[in-house]
Protein backbone atom coordinates (compact mmCIF):
# COMPACT_ATOMS: atom_id res chain seq x y z
CA UNK A 1 0.00 0.00 0.00
CA UNK A 2 1.07 3.57 -0.67
CA UNK A 3 1.41 5.61 2.52
CA UNK A 4 3.41 8.58 1.15
CA UNK A 5 4.06 10.41 -2.12
CA UNK A 6 7.55 11.81 -2.67
CA UNK A 7 8.25 14.23 -5.49
CA UNK A 8 11.38 15.30 -7.31
CA UNK A 9 11.36 19.06 -7.79
CA UNK A 10 13.20 20.43 -10.84
CA UNK A 11 11.34 19.61 -14.03
CA UNK A 12 8.71 17.63 -12.12
CA UNK A 13 6.93 20.06 -9.81
CA UNK A 14 8.42 23.29 -11.14
CA UNK A 15 9.32 24.26 -14.69
CA UNK A 16 12.88 25.08 -13.69
CA UNK A 17 14.92 23.21 -16.28
CA UNK A 18 14.86 26.10 -18.81
CA UNK A 19 16.23 28.40 -16.10
CA UNK A 20 19.02 25.94 -15.30
CA UNK A 21 19.93 25.72 -18.99
CA UNK A 22 19.95 29.51 -19.39
CA UNK A 23 22.30 29.93 -16.45
CA UNK A 24 24.52 27.02 -17.49
CA UNK A 25 25.00 28.57 -20.91
CA UNK A 26 25.60 32.01 -19.41
CA UNK A 27 28.25 30.82 -16.95
CA UNK A 28 29.93 28.37 -19.32
CA UNK A 29 30.17 31.16 -21.90
CA UNK A 30 32.50 32.95 -19.48
CA UNK A 31 35.04 30.09 -19.68
CA UNK A 32 34.82 29.81 -23.46
CA UNK A 33 32.44 26.83 -23.57
CA UNK A 34 29.48 27.68 -25.79
CA UNK A 35 26.75 25.09 -25.31
CA UNK A 36 23.47 24.75 -27.14
CA UNK A 37 20.18 24.20 -25.36
CA UNK A 38 20.15 20.64 -26.71
CA UNK A 39 23.61 19.97 -25.28
CA UNK A 40 22.47 21.22 -21.88
CA UNK A 41 19.62 18.73 -21.95
CA UNK A 42 22.18 15.90 -21.90
CA UNK A 43 22.86 16.56 -18.22
CA UNK A 44 19.24 16.88 -17.08
CA UNK A 45 18.89 15.45 -13.58
CA UNK A 46 22.56 15.71 -12.62
CA UNK A 47 23.60 17.76 -9.57
CA UNK A 48 25.00 21.04 -10.85
CA UNK A 49 28.58 20.38 -9.70
CA UNK A 50 28.46 17.12 -11.65
CA UNK A 51 27.28 19.11 -14.68
CA UNK A 52 30.36 21.34 -14.43
CA UNK A 53 32.62 18.29 -14.11
CA UNK A 54 30.82 16.56 -16.99
CA UNK A 55 31.62 19.38 -19.39
CA UNK A 56 35.13 19.94 -18.10
CA UNK A 57 36.01 16.33 -18.92
CA UNK A 58 34.66 16.74 -22.45
CA UNK A 59 35.86 20.27 -23.19
CA UNK A 60 38.38 21.34 -20.53
CA UNK A 61 38.96 25.04 -20.00
CA UNK A 62 42.03 26.67 -18.50
CA UNK A 63 42.22 28.21 -15.06
CA UNK A 64 42.92 31.49 -16.81
CA UNK A 65 39.71 31.23 -18.84
CA UNK A 66 37.79 30.59 -15.63
CA UNK A 67 39.40 33.58 -13.96
CA UNK A 68 40.82 31.25 -11.32
CA UNK A 69 37.34 30.05 -10.33
CA UNK A 70 37.04 26.46 -9.16
CA UNK A 71 34.44 24.00 -10.38
CA UNK A 72 32.58 24.64 -7.14
CA UNK A 73 32.59 28.39 -7.77
CA UNK A 74 31.20 27.94 -11.27
CA UNK A 75 28.49 25.64 -9.93
CA UNK A 76 27.64 28.21 -7.26
CA UNK A 77 27.38 30.96 -9.89
CA UNK A 78 24.91 28.86 -11.89
CA UNK A 79 22.88 28.03 -8.77
CA UNK A 80 22.74 31.66 -7.62
CA UNK A 81 21.44 32.74 -11.01
CA UNK A 82 18.82 30.00 -10.96
CA UNK A 83 17.70 31.08 -7.48
CA UNK A 84 17.05 34.57 -8.78
CA UNK A 85 15.26 33.46 -11.94
CA UNK A 86 13.04 30.91 -10.19
CA UNK A 87 12.08 33.30 -7.42
CA UNK A 88 10.58 35.68 -9.99
CA UNK A 89 9.78 33.64 -13.10
CA UNK A 90 9.22 29.93 -12.43
CA UNK A 91 5.81 28.31 -12.87
CA UNK A 92 4.49 24.90 -11.79
CA UNK A 93 4.64 22.04 -14.25
CA UNK A 94 1.25 21.09 -15.74
CA UNK A 95 -0.68 18.96 -13.28
CA UNK A 96 1.80 19.46 -10.42
CA UNK A 97 -0.52 21.29 -8.04
CA UNK A 98 -3.46 18.99 -8.80
CA UNK A 99 -1.31 15.91 -8.17
CA UNK A 100 -0.12 17.25 -4.82
CA UNK A 101 -3.72 18.04 -3.88
CA UNK A 102 -4.77 14.51 -4.89
CA UNK A 103 -2.67 13.10 -2.06
CA UNK A 104 -3.41 15.87 0.42
CA UNK A 105 -7.15 15.32 -0.03
CA UNK A 106 -6.66 11.65 0.87
CA UNK A 107 -4.58 12.39 3.95
CA UNK A 108 -1.44 10.90 2.38
CA UNK A 109 1.79 12.68 3.40
CA UNK A 110 3.73 14.37 0.62
CA UNK A 111 7.39 15.40 0.42
CA UNK A 112 10.03 16.75 -1.92
CA UNK A 113 13.28 14.80 -2.41
CA UNK A 114 15.52 16.96 -4.59
CA UNK A 115 19.11 16.98 -5.81
CA UNK A 116 19.05 20.77 -5.44
CA UNK A 117 20.25 22.54 -2.28
CA UNK A 118 17.76 23.27 0.48
CA UNK A 119 17.94 27.00 -0.25
CA UNK A 120 16.59 26.45 -3.77
CA UNK A 121 13.90 24.01 -2.58
CA UNK A 122 12.64 26.71 -0.23
CA UNK A 123 12.59 29.27 -3.07
CA UNK A 124 10.46 26.89 -5.15
CA UNK A 125 8.10 26.03 -2.27
CA UNK A 126 7.52 29.75 -1.68
CA UNK A 127 7.20 30.60 -5.39
CA UNK A 128 4.60 27.85 -5.98
CA UNK A 129 2.82 28.40 -2.65
CA UNK A 130 2.88 24.70 -1.82
CA UNK A 131 4.27 24.76 1.72
CA UNK A 132 0.93 23.81 3.26
CA UNK A 133 0.58 20.86 0.86
CA UNK A 134 3.90 19.29 1.87
CA UNK A 135 4.73 17.37 5.01
CA UNK A 136 8.45 18.08 4.52
CA UNK A 137 11.16 18.70 1.95
CA UNK A 138 14.64 17.21 1.84
CA UNK A 139 17.82 17.85 -0.15
CA UNK A 140 20.30 15.25 -1.37
CA UNK A 141 23.05 17.76 -0.58
CA UNK A 142 22.43 16.90 3.09
CA UNK A 143 23.09 13.22 2.43
CA UNK A 144 26.37 11.39 1.80
CA UNK A 145 25.58 10.93 -1.90
CA UNK A 146 23.39 12.73 -4.39
CA UNK A 147 21.19 11.12 -7.03
CA UNK A 148 21.40 8.54 -8.64
CA UNK A 149 22.28 7.05 -5.23
CA UNK A 150 19.14 6.28 -3.18
CA UNK A 151 20.21 8.34 -0.16
CA UNK A 152 17.80 11.27 -0.52
CA UNK A 153 14.80 8.98 -0.99
CA UNK A 154 15.79 6.77 1.91
CA UNK A 155 16.37 9.86 4.03
CA UNK A 156 13.00 11.32 3.10
CA UNK A 157 11.20 8.06 3.92
CA UNK A 158 13.03 7.95 7.23
CA UNK A 159 11.96 11.51 8.06
CA UNK A 160 8.38 10.59 7.17
CA UNK A 161 8.69 7.45 9.33
CA UNK A 162 7.33 5.38 6.43
CA UNK A 163 8.95 2.32 4.87
CA UNK A 164 10.39 2.96 1.38
CA UNK A 165 8.29 0.07 0.04
CA UNK A 166 5.19 2.04 1.01
CA UNK A 167 6.31 5.22 -0.77
CA UNK A 168 5.45 6.35 -4.28
CA UNK A 169 8.14 8.47 -5.97
CA UNK A 170 7.63 10.81 -8.92
CA UNK A 171 10.62 11.58 -11.14
CA UNK A 172 11.27 13.21 -14.51
CA UNK A 173 14.95 12.31 -14.97
CA UNK A 174 16.80 9.05 -15.46
CA UNK A 175 19.17 9.68 -12.56
CA UNK A 176 16.31 10.56 -10.25
CA UNK A 177 14.40 7.47 -11.28
CA UNK A 178 17.46 5.31 -10.54
CA UNK A 179 17.62 6.90 -7.10
CA UNK A 180 14.01 6.15 -6.20
CA UNK A 181 14.16 2.70 -7.76
CA UNK A 182 17.29 1.83 -5.78
CA UNK A 183 15.49 2.96 -2.62
CA UNK A 184 12.88 0.25 -3.25
CA UNK A 185 9.95 2.55 -4.00
CA UNK A 186 7.13 2.37 -6.50
CA UNK A 187 7.90 4.95 -9.16
CA UNK A 188 6.11 7.19 -11.62
CA UNK A 189 8.35 8.48 -14.41
CA UNK A 190 7.31 11.71 -16.14
CA UNK A 191 10.08 12.23 -18.73
CA UNK A 192 10.44 15.29 -20.91
CA UNK A 193 9.26 14.90 -24.49
CA UNK A 194 12.86 14.97 -25.76
CA UNK A 195 13.68 11.70 -23.95
CA UNK A 196 10.27 10.12 -23.36
CA UNK A 197 11.16 6.95 -25.30
CA UNK A 198 14.60 6.48 -23.72
CA UNK A 199 14.93 2.90 -22.37
CA UNK A 200 16.27 4.21 -19.04
CA UNK A 201 12.67 4.90 -18.00
CA UNK A 202 11.62 1.26 -18.41
CA UNK A 203 12.39 0.56 -14.73
CA UNK A 204 9.49 2.81 -13.67
CA UNK A 205 6.33 1.25 -12.30
CA UNK A 206 4.36 3.64 -14.52
CA UNK A 207 5.42 6.16 -17.17
CA UNK A 208 3.28 9.23 -17.93
CA UNK A 209 3.67 12.00 -20.54
CA UNK A 210 2.76 14.63 -17.90
CA UNK A 211 1.40 14.85 -14.37
CA UNK A 212 -1.92 15.85 -15.93
CA UNK A 213 -2.25 12.17 -16.88
CA UNK A 214 -2.09 11.02 -13.26
CA UNK A 215 -5.50 9.90 -12.00
CA UNK A 216 -7.27 7.89 -9.33
CA UNK A 217 -7.11 4.91 -11.71
CA UNK A 218 -3.32 5.30 -11.92
CA UNK A 219 -3.12 5.45 -8.15
CA UNK A 220 -5.25 2.34 -7.66
CA UNK A 221 -3.15 0.42 -10.18
CA UNK A 222 0.02 1.45 -8.36
CA UNK A 223 -1.38 0.32 -5.01
CA UNK A 224 -1.08 -3.31 -6.08
CA UNK A 225 2.11 -3.08 -8.14
CA UNK A 226 5.22 -4.78 -6.89
CA UNK A 227 7.93 -2.38 -5.74
CA UNK A 228 11.58 -2.99 -6.52
CA UNK A 229 14.64 -3.46 -4.38
Among all residues, which ones are annotated catalytic?
8, 10
Answer whether the bond into residue 148 is a cis peptide, omega within 30°: yes
Cβ atoms within 10 Å, residue 35: 17
Asked if residues 114 and 86 have their Cβ atoms less than 8 Å apart, the reply is no
What separation in angstroms does the CA of 92 have from each of 22, 82, 102, 125, 228? 18, 15, 16, 10, 29
Amino acid sequence: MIHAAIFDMDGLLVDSEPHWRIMEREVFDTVGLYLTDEQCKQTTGLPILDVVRYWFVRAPWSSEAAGGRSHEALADAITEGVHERIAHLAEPMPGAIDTLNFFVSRGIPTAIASASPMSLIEVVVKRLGIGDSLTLWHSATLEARNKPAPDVYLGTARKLNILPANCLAFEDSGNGLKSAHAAGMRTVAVPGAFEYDDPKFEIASVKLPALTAFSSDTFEALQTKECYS
